[in-house]
Amino acid sequence: MKKVSVVVPVYNTSLYLKECIDSLVNQTLDDIEIILINDGSTDNSLSIINEYKKKYPQKIIIISQENLGISVARNAGIKVSKGKYIGFVDSDDFVKLDMFEKLYEKIENANCDIVVCDYQKYTMIDNNYEYIDVTKNIKKDNIYEDPSLIFNIDFGPCNKLYKKELFNDIKFPINKKYEDLNAILKVFLEAQKISVIKSPLYIYRQNEKGETLTVDYKISDILYILEDLLVYAKSNKNYNVLEKYFKKMCVNKLIYYLVYSYKLNDKEFILTFRKNIINFLNKNFKYWKLELLNDKRLNMKLISKIVVSSNFLFKLYSDRKFAVKL
């Protein structure tokens, strides 16, 4: 058994891939395996992967598949991994050379299920590094002791180390956007103890062409993701502790994405998306409209991004009585 397995999905990132792999093969933690999943790349990525496999045959494992998406790639990497702990790195990012040694020492010494570190956002256009403090809100051992973690921390998979068995029954949903939120929040719901390292060990590359900066019709996948999460959470005997925090998260995300859907300029899609959001919230939460009106953080986003032509959003935001009765 290895100490740590690092799962790296690769799709057409040849411009950045060497920097990513270099940061992994040179980790100060020796007992590590690096699982590179080529997800049907059409650029030079596979050649780069094969080149590194020749140099580091004991460290690198290659999986090559047709283009099936990042969830299939991550799930495949988890399946073949032999580490006691598992981590994820995106192939256009890179990490500090001591990242996995520090994460491993922390998770072992603290006897925890997950350890989270801060990260830096690297903006290529101006060569700027910005410290992102994602651990500041983690003050308790788990979500049940502090349910506000449900909406106060980043559920991206890559700045964390996990006990592998947390993924025994949890997979990244296939062919869905926002797959990270689905899988990683479920893993956090299973964790008994979460620890942190107050250091930016992971470097996230801000690519202006990246998926996170686009709006497309898969924005509606958020409804599937949240519905599946609620089913999973409700199966836990302590869901009553979590319910109001799930409501806050769902209202926040759904209204936020509804506003962003107007960028598609497709009235029929937006009306259907809006209807499905209302149905989802009515089905799952009482008094969700009050949550919308009382959430100051969400209101600030709406003030800056609200679309005036949206009669629904305008009334919800401006007329408290209407919002309650709707």
User: Is it the case that residue 294 has pLDDT exceeding 90?
Assistant: no
- Among 254, 263, 260, 34, CA closest to 151: 254
Q: Can you give the chain as a three-state secondary structure string?
A: CEEEEEEEEECCCHHHHHHHHHHHHCCCCCCEEEEEEEECCCCCHHHHHHHHHHHCCCCEEEEEECCCCHHHHHHHHHHHCCEEEEEECCCCCEECCCHHHHHHHHHHHCCCCEEEEEEEEEECCCCEEEEECCCCCCCCCCCCCCCCHHHHCCCCCCCEEEEHHHHCCCCCCCCCCCHHHHHHHHHHHHCCCEEEEEEEEEEEEECCCCHHHCCCHHHHHHHHHHHHHHHHHHCCCCHHHHHHHHHHHHHHHHHHHHHHHHHHCCHHHHHHHHHHHHHHHHHHCCCHHHHHHHCHHHHHHHHHHCCCCCHHHHHHHHCHHHHHHC
Tell me: the pLDDT tens digits for 215-237?
A: 899 999 999 999 999 999 999 88
**Which of 105-114, 125-134, 238-247, 317-326 shows the highest mean pLDDT?**
105-114
Beta carbons within 10 angstroms of residue 166's beta carbon: 20
Q: Residue 211 has what pLDDT? A: 44
Percent of the chain predicted with pLDDT > 70: 88
Tell me: the pLDDT tens digits for 265-279?
A: 898 998 899 899 999
115: β partners: 161, 195
Say yes or no: domain 2-211 is CATH 3.50.50.60.
Answer: no
Residues 6+ apart with CB under 8 A from 186: 170, 229, 232
Question: Which two structure tokens, joined as six digits, stand for 126?
Answer: 């101006």
- Among 253, 244, 187, 263, CA closest to 225: 253
**Phi, psi at 209, each rounded to 5°:** -100, 5
Tell me: the pLDDT tens digits for 102-134?
A: 999 999 999 999 999 999 999 988 889 999 999
Q: Residue 316 has what pLDDT? A: 52
User: Is it the case that residue 41 has pLDDT exceeding 80?
Assistant: yes
Per-domain boundaries in the chain: 2-211, 217-325
Q: Are strands 60-65 and 32-39 parallel, antiparallel or unpaired?
A: parallel
197: β partners: 117
